[in-house]
Structure 1
Amino acid sequence: MSTPAPMEGRASGSARIYQTGGDQYIEEHVHHYAPGSAPLFGPPGAGPAEPRATAPDSVRMPLVGRAPGVLRDRTDLMRSLRAAVAGPGGDIQVLHGMGGCGKTAVAQSLFNEAVRDHGRVGLWVNASERVSLRAGMLAVAGDRGATDSELVAAAGGQRAAADLVWHHLNHSAQPWLLVLDNADDPGILEEGAWLRPSPAGTVLVTTRHATSPLWRVPGASSHRLGVLPLEDATLVLRDLAPDAGTRESARKVARRLGCLPLALTLAGAHLAHQLLESWSMDEYDRKLTEESTALVDRGASATGGGQSRHLVGRTWQLSLDSLAQGGLPEATTLLRLLSCWAADPVPLALLMPAAQGGAGLEHLDPPLTAARVEPALRALLDHSLIDMVETDGHRCVKAHGVLLDSVAAGVPDTERELLADAAGRLLRAALPQEGAASARARSQVRLLAPHATGLLHRVHRHGPVTQETARIAVRLARLVYEAGDWTAALALAATAARTAAEHLGDEHPATIEARSGQGPVLFRLGRYAEAAELLRPVHRDALRTLGPHDARTLDAAYELQRVLHRLGDLTQARTLLETVLDGRRHVLGEDHVATLKTRCEMLELRLALDEFDGYTAAAEELAGDCERRLGPDHLVTVWARDALARGLLRSGRGAEAEELFGRVLAGQRAGYGDGHPLVLGVLIQLSRAQYAQGKREQAAESAREVAEGRAEVLGEDHPETVAARAWYTEVRTAPPATG
């Protein structure tokens, strides 16, 4: 063993030398004061110190960056907080919300006002970690008059540190505002009872933790901070970068960033401080598509906020890191799963299979087993990473779009395919059966539609789209179409077709299915020529690659003949429909719903061709077959009755037709809901039956309802709206019936 070398050191003034011959851990806190003020840790036996005119920077100044020049859309909140600061004291105000929503900015603005306008002593403590909280609170005690010996005893554990701090806060000669910033782990405050009300001042806590029992102590009030309204978010960008574009351009960027204050601040700072580039708001909006949160974070250098909490791409990772350290790493996997979908509300029913096992999430890293889904979900809620909302009677969770972009960008490449597969399986399991007629099923379809689009976009951006992902989107587009939201159905079907073509090729079966799925939507939207132009090559490709008897080939032919029917090419439509009927009978069987539906379509085509011989008998036979095979309330059964009622009307049996149209109308409303466009198609036939019997007022009222309803749902230029307007005019202006 060698002899240690001698060590020498000299110090002058307030400097110190520590010397040791072995491994030692030395921690020293140095506090600087104005010349002439006493050091915080003075010699033992020193008398009581007066509150220092100049406190440590970490206590008297909020070292969190520059305060916003204008605090947008926090008027009511600031009014409430100002009243608390100006009051007699004893209040604890808790600001909670997701990372980046501006909690610290509100606290900083209130802090500055309290000091400047209300004569309060402002005290600011970083409560994000035990060390910073303890050091900051002891500095608060020193600021409020604690002696150096008291502080040495508290620092050394000889007396309760929190009791010392609150003793001096309670006996402060001046009213104060104490900000405990970034208290994202309430357990740190709870240990040693650091959070207490005091009659001498007001405590303001900022936290991401929304539901801690600590916020329910007597005298505490909670305030949830969310994102800004769109107009205020627009003004934030205009405040920071007034020359970067128009108000409308700023509004687009604000909407794209989800009106999140942190993202707006960074985006505005970047636009205002460009040197080599000079992007406009519109150019910045386009760049966001390519770079997302990575682009936003470029503005951090311009704000002086390079710390993790000031970076969009990092801010939420702090919460996830904290959860992982606390024994909930599964929260990261659950949030990554949510990032596969859209920023719209996610029904809890979509996550239920994951809680029951079998979603494949247990194979991820960190693994998410069925038993840990509920705790992970609760943890994300508690840390304001997601919110609980109710939409159309469905309990849902919702995450911010920028958060989801940030999380998705950070998913390891090895996990992406597994996550996308799990997201697709869960989405498929949540889909109601085609033809499901309940209002709840329709509302669930509307909620799920954005998530199919979100999954397509996410997978398209980060990896190859599989045929299963494309087919889920196609199926959901079909359900949205059946629910009557034709514009949304077309957008989803078009996205599925475009994405499938890019990743799978034009002639892949999933691509053909997706392209074909746009046809019925274009048909219902009255865009007949466009639908024909799309469906002709789809049908040709299906014949060539899938064969004439494949169900997808028959589907494409069926949709094409409907369009040709509307365009007046009845002969070609008849040829195609006969092929479809023969093929579906051969492939699917006589009793299959698609076969029965094709027979309904054939009856409608026969009416257009003025083929009345045997029509009524064929319609009665079809209605009976549908009722026996599908049930009396099935929508195809209702459609068969509609075909029979039209035949009765054309043959002059108006009273029978009116009665049957009434039953059809009730069946359509039960199956689709009152607001569905197809209900209006039956109502106009009822109007015609009423008119045929001389019931002019009833016919006119029914026609008016159809014309106004179609104009509202389909638009004034839709062919069916034009036809309904013409019929209403004819009925309203017709001379009174004689006889």
Structure 2
Amino acid sequence: MSVPTPMEGRASGSARVYQTGGDQYVEEHVHHYAPGSAPLFGRHVVAPAEPRPAAPDSVRLPLVGRAPGVLRDRTDVMERLRAAVAGPGGDVQVLHGMGGCGKTAVAHALFTEAVRDHGRVGLWVNASERVSLRAGMLAVAGDRGATGGELAAAAGGRRAAADLVWHHLDHSAEPWLLVLDNADDPAVLEEGAWLRPSPSGTVLVTTRHATSPLWRIPGASSHRIGVLPLEDATLVLRDLAPEAGTRESARKVARRLGCLPLALTLAGAHLAHQLLESWTMDEYDRRLGEESTALVDRGAPATGGGQSRRLVGRTWQLSLDTLAEGGLPEATALLRLLSFWAADPVPLSLLMPAAQGGVDGLEHLDPPLTADRVEPALRALLDHSLADLVETDGHRCVKAHGVLLDSVAAGVSDAQRALLAGVAGRLLRAALPPEGAASPRARSQVRLLAPHVTGLLHRSHRHGLVTADSVRIAARVARLVYEAGDWTAALALAATAARTAAEHLGDEHPATIEARSGQGPVLFRLGRYAEAADLLRPVHRDALRTLGPHDARTLDAAYELQRVLHRLGDLDEARTLLEAVLDGRRDALGDDHVTTLKTRCEMLELRLAQDQFDHYLSAAEELVADCERHLGPDHLVTVWARDAWARGLLRSGRGAEAEDLFRRVLAGQRAGYGDDHPLVLGVLIQLSRAQHAQGKRPEAAESAREVAEQRAAILGEDHPETAAARAWYAEVRAEPPAPG
């Protein structure tokens, strides 16, 4: 019974997140605010111009803003894609092109037609980075019939997640279209073998990367999505701002903007939402020609991604200049702040402290962003299509286009970058749930924050702004993701935090030690014991040298290292480390602290492993009493203490008492983790052994059968724990019935 960190086994089952990021054709999104309408940061959702249908808790709806009323051009590629969707399946269609060229708009149009006209199940996943991809793909598996236990095992790394997803996609009773949107880093798809053809459906990928070897898998076809033809680009502007000028004027603006759909959308939204001025297309064309607004993306090349950022920059700067002239310079500061996070949806709760005046540094931005101006600034960004208001996993969020954010970030001065990075970090810290929070809403909040922690680290790394605070925030979010059950995602974030900290702060900085140590428990749960030992030994050594033997971080590193050594069979060294941890935690925190009590549970397990059974039962009974008194009878650490006591009873031949206590442990584990979590199955197999020890062979066989079948379903047939359960079941079943 190794003491785990509390988490819920079904965490991934709620990871059905509506997310988009990166490329997206953002059509004009008009918000009408009635007098006295609820604030964005209040308790009620601001009503859009027309009601949204209720969204199911799944990946069935792509939240990509309001789709274009008319999809201009794209006729040839849409015909080829329609033919693929109408076919038998097995196709992988790749849409590639530079940012902002409308790949997501094409994907959305095909998605709508596939569901409406071809009876396909539409599934939409944000593939921009690891956390959102894993969460989305596991939600796809859940949609196609995966059980909660299977999802928990995949999220926890105990079963290959991609294999689970594609098993259920391949065996889907209904044909489907799966969109993997914004796969701009093909390595994210390749690492887990997430991209595969299937006879049951069609896969559509959108990406800025045109030449990845991944797109050359069997059954894949590539389609380049470029800028619009001039006449179609002209019509986009006329669709959005029909009163702003003639067709010829619109043509001049479209030509100056390179016919890039995102730039056209931003320009049309600006012209359609003027309040204090009424620019014509000709006036807008003149403003675009001024050098002061054209050189936003300094030094960017005139082709590829640099070209798209340059063209988009020329449009958003005009909109922000106009807002500033109209009395809303704070919109610039807010958009710059958003650019220090990721292009994924930003929960409004992340901005709430800024709107309530609870974050230092906003007043030092240029322009300053005071609390009472946060909401007007956000409304302005929404009204000018510089951002969208979306709902993701039950959280209201604001989302801006990745190309737009890259362009905005490139225009921030060096002096402002450090201030913005500090404010972005403080807001992230304020948005984290309190220690020990394990509600589904808290877990979904963490999933939404994780990409923004990574985004802040990347932005800070690029400009040499990494601080101990930003590393500690990333390490804490990695721990929260781990506690929520997504161990693979947690390891990726923890490794990023540790690598970034080591490069900028040095190996022996306390924040680096914390980040490096945070990888240990994840590797332990993933069963990568040797790798965990290789990582934790130098971490513990550095902590001893720089922090001292009594520092909490040194004790934490020692605790994690001893768990690994226990699994590797080095029981003597594990015992030495654990004794030091127990003494240190008692001295610093007291006998009744939860971490001290957890350490005592670990000590009992080590004693059993070393066959040191003297006074074991009395020590276990005393520990249970202490846990019940200080933590309560239902706390998971109390449950683990009972498990240690029950194992001792079984070892001493008191099978009936052990069975009764294992039943209490089983109830406690199921309450904490869910019925089919592997830790629950570990208790159930002990219950089977207790029943067997009493001669209750039918009951023992039934419990053993349940464990064997559920481990096979959750962990896979080849997992060592599945093999052990099958072996025990075979042994019990093969025995002759008891006489009489």
Give the TM bin, normalised by the shorter chain. Answer: 0.5 to 0.7
Tell whether the 8 Å contact from 2:266 to 2:386 is kept in structure 1 after alignment.
Answer: no
Give deviations 1:478-502, integer Å, cap 9, x for gaps.
Answer: 1221221111111111111111110
Alpha-carbon separation, structure 1, partners of 2:561 and 2:501: 21
2:562 corresponds to which letter in structure 1?
Q
Note the C-alpha offset of 1:571: 1.1
2:377 aligned partner:
376
Listed as ranges, the gaps of 5+ residues in structure 2 are 1-71, 79-104, 114-206, 209-224, 251-264, 281-296
1:698 aligned partner:
702
Tell whether the 8 Å contact from 1:125 to 1:136 is kept in structure 2 after alignment.
Answer: no
Note the C-alpha offset of 1:611: 2.1
Alpha-carbon separation, structure 1, partners of 2:564 and 2:585: 19
Are residues 1:182 and 2:263 paired?
no
1:257 aligned partner:
none
1:414 corresponds to which letter in structure 2?
A
Tell whether the 8 Å contact from 2:387 to 2:400 is kept in structure 1 after alignment.
Answer: yes
2:486 aligned partner:
485
Q: Could you tell which deviates more after superposition, 655-664 or 400-409? A: 655-664
- Name the SS for the 2:303 alignment partner: helix
Alpha-carbon separation, structure 2, partners of 1:559 and 1:124: 60
Tell whether the 8 Å contact from 1:125 to 1:181 is kept in structure 2 after alignment.
Answer: no
1:252 aligned partner:
none
Alpha-carbon separation, structure 1, partners of 2:266 and 2:707: 66
1:342 aligned partner:
342
2:707 corresponds to which letter in structure 1?
A
- Name the SS for the 1:531 alignment partner: helix
Give deviations 1:267-313, integer Å, cap 9, x for gaps.
Answer: xxxxxxxxxxxxxxxxxxxxxxxxx9976752499xxxx8x997244
Give deviations 1:319-345, integer Å, cap 9, x for gaps.
Answer: 333433333222222222222222223
Task: Decide whether aligned partners of structure 1 residues 421 and 74 sit closer, same or farther in structure 2, where only a CA change above 3 A counts.
Answer: closer
Tell whether the 8 Å contact from 1:600 to 1:643 is kept in structure 2 after alignment.
Answer: yes
Task: Decide whether aligned partners of structure 1 residues 190 and 429 sit closer, same or farther in structure 2, where only a CA change above 3 A counts.
Answer: closer
Aligned pairs for 1:316-327 within 5 A: 316-327=316-327
Alpha-carbon separation, structure 2, partners of 1:640 and 1:592: 14
Give deviations 1:458-514, integer Å, cap 9, x for gaps.
Answer: 111122311111111111211221221111111111111111110111111111111
Tell whether the 8 Å contact from 2:276 to 2:326 is kept in structure 1 after alignment.
Answer: no
Alpha-carbon separation, structure 2, partners of 1:180 and 1:586: 61
Alpha-carbon separation, structure 1, partners of 2:644 and 2:576: 20
Task: Decide whether aligned partners of structure 1 residues 332 and 711 sit closer, same or farther in structure 2, where only a CA change above 3 A counts.
Answer: same
1:349 corresponds to which letter in structure 2?
S
- Name the SS for the 1:311 alignment partner: helix
TM-score (norm 1): 0.60
2:408 aligned partner:
407
Are residues 1:359 and 2:345 paired?
no
1:546 aligned partner:
547
1:298 aligned partner:
303
Are residues 1:476 and 2:477 paired?
yes
2:86 aligned partner:
none
Alpha-carbon separation, structure 2, partners of 1:452 and 1:674: 33
Tell whether the 8 Å contact from 1:596 to 1:626 is kept in structure 2 after alignment.
Answer: yes
1:333 aligned partner:
333
Tell whether the 8 Å contact from 2:330 to 2:377 is kept in structure 1 after alignment.
Answer: yes
Task: Decide whether aligned partners of structure 1 residues 570 and 300 sit closer, same or farther in structure 2, where only a CA change above 3 A counts.
Answer: closer
Aligned pairs for 1:290-689 within 5 A: 297-299=302-304, 311-360=311-360, 361-673=362-674, 677-689=678-690
Alpha-carbon separation, structure 2, partners of 1:414 and 1:70: 48
Tell whether the 8 Å contact from 1:340 to 1:419 is kept in structure 2 after alignment.
Answer: yes
Give deviations 1:332-391, integer Å, cap 9, x for gaps.
Answer: 222222222222232222221111112122221121111122222222223333333333
Task: Decide whether aligned partners of structure 1 residues 670 and 512 sit closer, same or farther in structure 2, where only a CA change above 3 A counts.
Answer: same
Alpha-carbon separation, structure 1, partners of 2:539 and 2:597: 24
Tell whether the 8 Å contact from 2:689 to 2:700 is kept in structure 1 after alignment.
Answer: no
2:311 corresponds to which letter in structure 1?
L
Alpha-carbon separation, structure 2, partners of 1:592 and 1:316: 54
Alpha-carbon separation, structure 1, partners of 2:544 and 2:237: 73
1:702 corresponds to which letter in structure 2?
E
Aligned pairs for 1:192-207 within 5 A: none
Tell whether the 8 Å contact from 1:386 to 1:397 is kept in structure 2 after alignment.
Answer: yes
Task: Decide whether aligned partners of structure 1 residues 515 and 729 sit closer, same or farther in structure 2, where only a CA change above 3 A counts.
Answer: farther
Q: Could you tell which deviates more after superposition, 656-665 or 513-522? A: 656-665
Aligned pairs for 1:140-219 within 5 A: 182-187=268-273
Note the C-alpha offset of 1:600: 0.8
Task: Decide whether aligned partners of structure 1 residues 504 and 299 sit closer, same or farther in structure 2, where only a CA change above 3 A counts.
Answer: closer
Aligned pairs for 1:61-72 within 5 A: 70=76, 72=78
Alpha-carbon separation, structure 1, partners of 2:404 and 2:537: 43
Alpha-carbon separation, structure 2, partners of 1:357 and 1:468: 21
- Identity among equivalent pairs (%): 73
Task: Decide whether aligned partners of structure 1 residues 660 and 299 sit closer, same or farther in structure 2, where only a CA change above 3 A counts.
Answer: same
- Name the SS for the 1:396 alignment partner: strand
Note the C-alpha offset of 1:729: 4.9
Alpha-carbon separation, structure 1, partners of 2:533 and 2:110: 59
Alpha-carbon separation, structure 1, partners of 2:738 and 2:330: 75
1:495 corresponds to which letter in structure 2?
T
Give deviations 1:512-565, integer Å, cap 9, x for gaps.
Answer: 111111111111110111111111111111111111111111111111111110
Alpha-carbon separation, structure 2, partners of 1:517 and 1:549: 18
Note the C-alpha offset of 1:596: 1.0
Task: Decide whether aligned partners of structure 1 residues 498 and 77 sit closer, same or farther in structure 2, where only a CA change above 3 A counts.
Answer: closer
TM-score (norm 2): 0.60
Alpha-carbon separation, structure 2, partners of 1:719 and 1:487: 19
Task: Decide whether aligned partners of structure 1 residues 409 and 644 sit closer, same or farther in structure 2, where only a CA change above 3 A counts.
Answer: farther
Alpha-carbon separation, structure 2, partners of 1:542 and 1:509: 8
Alpha-carbon separation, structure 2, partners of 1:628 and 1:320: 60
Give deviations 1:694-738, integer Å, cap 9, x for gaps.
Answer: 2144313431354135416xxx66554554454455456555555
Tell whether the 8 Å contact from 2:655 to 2:691 is kept in structure 1 after alignment.
Answer: yes
Of structures 1 and 2, the one scoring higher in RCO (CA 8 A, sep 6+) is: 2
Task: Decide whether aligned partners of structure 1 residues 633 and 365 sit closer, same or farther in structure 2, where only a CA change above 3 A counts.
Answer: farther
Note the C-alpha offset of 1:131: 7.2
Alpha-carbon separation, structure 2, partners of 1:464 and 1:180: 31
Alpha-carbon separation, structure 1, partners of 2:350 and 2:509: 29
